[in-house]
Structure 1
Amino acid sequence: MLVRCSTGNLSLVAFTLVAALYSPQNLHAQTSQLQAQQAVEAAVQSELSAAQTDKSLWIYRGHDVTPGKDVTYQAVQTPDGELKRIVERWGRPLDGAASDEEMSRISEYANDRSAQAKQRKEDAHDDEQASSMLKMLPKAYLWTIVSETPETITLAYQPNPAFDPPNMESHVMGTMAGQMVIVKNGNRIRTLRGKLVGDIKIAFGLIGKLNQGGTFDIERREIAPGLWQITETHVHIGGHALFKTIGTQEDEVKTGWKPSPAHSLPEAAGLLKNP
């Protein structure tokens, strides 16, 4: 996930936090802040490590809703990439002609090395960007503990006024606040949710703006021992660019996870013939 830009004035918040942390009568607050920071750093390291070592492949069913689109699809992952076949639109199964067209599209892609290479390049870029954003989490926010159970720890985050975003993509982090839930066993991130606490202005607002109040919620679950996947994504952010509506409005839920036996895209296409 992640969207992309103007921070509000948080100097008073920062001053209040620093005063609380270093006040002699608030040693517990200082300890809690340190524990929260350590929890985030451990979770980030666990996720980065898992991204390098987890080579598991899956079959799952997804339901994706965006403005003007409501589709249910079956997905099959392979070492060469992933194939998705739409099986329903707006809650209704595809008719024969639409189903044949969908399989034709899948078969064509499964045998198009150029298209596959382009997709792998885009996926690699997305993975690199996600990794970079993940590494910024400990520094981009001020973290505090909200609650804790034997299994999980819930943290709240606010923009860190000392964070200097290195690029436009990371600038958005200066306007987000919310909560993160970490599962202690393995230090894995289960939930990351938040909202834009300020407008995100592109070129000082001359080109566009994403509106304050936009929300996102990413849910991850352990679908097999030690193996985690994003199971829900809910993003509702609005705005405009040169008088055109921009932003992201999407709700996607993934269920029915099971190991994929496909070793290639043609094999995945064969499995999708009977989803």
Structure 2
Amino acid sequence: MPILFAMVPAAVAQPQISVPAEPAQKLVADVIYNEMQDRERDSFWEYRSERLEAGRALVREQVETSEGPIFRVIEQQGAPLDNTARAEEEQRLKTLVEHPGAMDKVRKAHEADEERLRRVMEMLPKAFLFTYDRVESSDAVRIGFRPDPAFTPSGYEERIMHAMAGTITVNPRLKRMIAMHGVLEQRVDFGYGLLGHVDQGGTFEIGRMQVSAEHWKTSLVEVHVEGKILLFKDVTKNQRETRSEFHPVSHEITLTEAKQLLDKAAGGSGRELASVQR
């Protein structure tokens, strides 16, 4: 028996990874600051998007430009576009590129989304209490968050966000966000429910990935929320989008050049794609 025990190697001591020395609240504030700084840098990218919304599955190639993001649908419901759908996509893109002002609506919608996200990001360190939850590795620490009762939210968005609790995973060395997951812990009523509500149990998830030495991009957005605002506006949203294959593009890229990249991703030139109309 002693011989058998001698043959069993001693357990290898695993290095202990401790939580960062700085308070979780301070680390999150630094992470959010870095995220905001990154968003303000001039940085445009091309990437592949897989989107599922209202039972519709789309694969899109998207290019960011100074006039707003422009995309081409590559697949729909798990299959390449047929000739009719390809012709419609080509015409839609041609209109955006060739007609002055055609991108105005796209740009304004994009800017509104960016502004909404900026407000939410800035709100996080002020509206929530953070505590270390779990150390996953030397480059990944999970932090729990819950509403700070001392914070008074204003407006629909802040009230909805402030009713959430969840976790945020960060890289403590680079001080960047890796992921965030939240759950709406209670129903939010507006005007005692007369003006609207958002149901308890709604969830959201965000994933981030490093795409260069300085830049991180959103790789996952998943939202499941149900409710109504101002009696008639349905705010139900069930959406999942993953983004991958990030490639930097010139900050001076034009819409014409962006479309050429989209044409290439679709497997042909604009002329070849347009030919499906004939």
Q: What is the TM-score when the length of structure 1 is the normalising length?
A: 0.81
Matches within 5 A, 1:106-185: 106-148=93-135, 149-185=137-173
Classify 1:174/1:61 alpha carbon distance in 2 versus 1 (closer, same or farther; 3 Å): same
Is the counterpart of residue 265 in structure 1 residue 232 in structure 2? no
Comparing 204-213 and 189-198, the one that deviates more: 204-213
How big is each residue's C-alpha offset from its partner over 1:102-154, in whole Å with a ceiling of 9 and x where there is no partner? 01101101223323234333333332332222111112111111123321221
From 227, 235, 251, give the equivalent of 1:246. Answer: 235
Classify 1:244/1:132 alpha carbon distance in 2 versus 1 (closer, same or farther; 3 Å): closer
Q: Greater CA radius of gyration, 1 or 2? A: 2
The equivalent residue for 1:226 is: 214
8 Å CA contact retained: 1:209, 1:239: yes
The equivalent residue for 2:199 is: 211
Secondary structure, counterpart of 1:155 in structure 2: strand
Is the counterpart of residue 198 in structure 1 residue 186 in structure 2? yes
CA distance in 1, matches of 2:221, 2:77: 19
8 Å CA contact retained: 1:63, 1:72: yes
Q: What is the TM-score when the length of structure 2 is the normalising length?
A: 0.81
CA distance in 2, matches of 1:240, 1:272: 37
8 Å CA contact retained: 1:33, 1:143: no
The equivalent residue for 1:47 is: 35
8 Å CA contact retained: 1:61, 1:254: yes
Cα RMSD of the aligned pairs, angstroms, is 2.2
Cα offset, 1:253, TM superposition = 0.7
Classify 1:240/1:121 alpha carbon distance in 2 versus 1 (closer, same or farther; 3 Å): closer
Cα offset, 1:32, TM superposition = 8.8
One-letter code aligned to 2:239: E
Classify 1:34/1:188 alpha carbon distance in 2 versus 1 (closer, same or farther; 3 Å): closer
CA distance in 1, matches of 2:263, 2:246: 18
Secondary structure, counterpart of 1:163 in structure 2: coil
Matches within 5 A, 1:17-96: 35-53=23-41, 55-96=42-83
CA distance in 2, matches of 1:104, 1:181: 42
CA distance in 1, matches of 2:258, 2:47: 12
| Structure 2 spans left out of the alignment, 5+ residues | 1-18, 266-278
| Structure 1 spans left out of the alignment, 5+ residues | 1-30
CA distance in 2, matches of 1:77, 1:246: 27
8 Å CA contact retained: 1:186, 1:226: no
Cα offset, 1:232, TM superposition = 0.8
